[in-house]
Amino acid sequence: MKIKIYIKDFLWMATGALMLLLVMVIVIHFQTGKRPVEQLAFRAKRMDLVARMRLNLASASEAEKSAVLAITDQDSKTFADQARLATLEVDLDQKELGEQLATGGTPNERDLLAQFSRAFTILQHIDSDLFVLAIKNTNIKAYGLAFGPAADDLQKMDSTLSNLVAKSSALPDARNVELLAYRAQIAALRILTLLAPHIAEESDRKMDELEEQMIKEDKEVRKDLGDLSAIQKLGGNPDLEIAFLNYTRFSEVRGRILTLSRENTNVKSLTISLGQKRKVLFLCQDALSSLQQTILEEPIIGVNYGSVSNPRSMQVEKIK
258 lies in some domain:
yes
In a domain, 12, yes or no: no
Contact 87, 124 (CB under 8 A): yes
- Residues 266-315 have pLDDT tens digits of 999 999 999 999 999 999 999 999 999 999 887 766 555 544 444 444 44
Domains contained in the chain, number = 2
CB count in 10 Å sphere of residue 29? 12
**Radius of gyration of the chain from its Cα atoms, rounded to whole angstroms:** 37
Any domain includes 116: yes
Considering the domain architecture, whether residues 247 and 201 belong to the same structural domain is answered as yes
Does residue 144 share a domain with residue 254? yes
Instruction: Flag whether 64 is in a domain.
Output: yes
Structure confidence by residue, pLDDT tens digits, 102-122: 988 899 999 999 999 999 999
Give residue 210's domain range.
138-263
**Residue 171 is assigned to a structural domain of this protein:** yes
Query: Do 282 and 195 fall within a single domain?
Result: no
Could you tell me the CATH number of the domain that includes residue 282? 1.20.1440
The answer to whether the Cα torsion of 299, 300, 306, 307 is positive or negative is: negative
How high is the pLDDT of residue 34?
58
Same domain for 282 and 215: no
- Asked whether residue 299 is assigned to any structural domain, the reply reads yes
CB-CB contact of 303 with 36 (8 Å): yes
Average pLDDT for residues 21-50, to the nearest whole number? Answer: 68
DSSP per-residue string spanning 155-197: HHHHHHHHHHHHHTTTSTTHHHHHHHHHHHHHHHHHHHHHHHH
pTM of the predicted structure, to 2 decimals: 0.74
Cα 168 from chain centroid (whole Å): 57
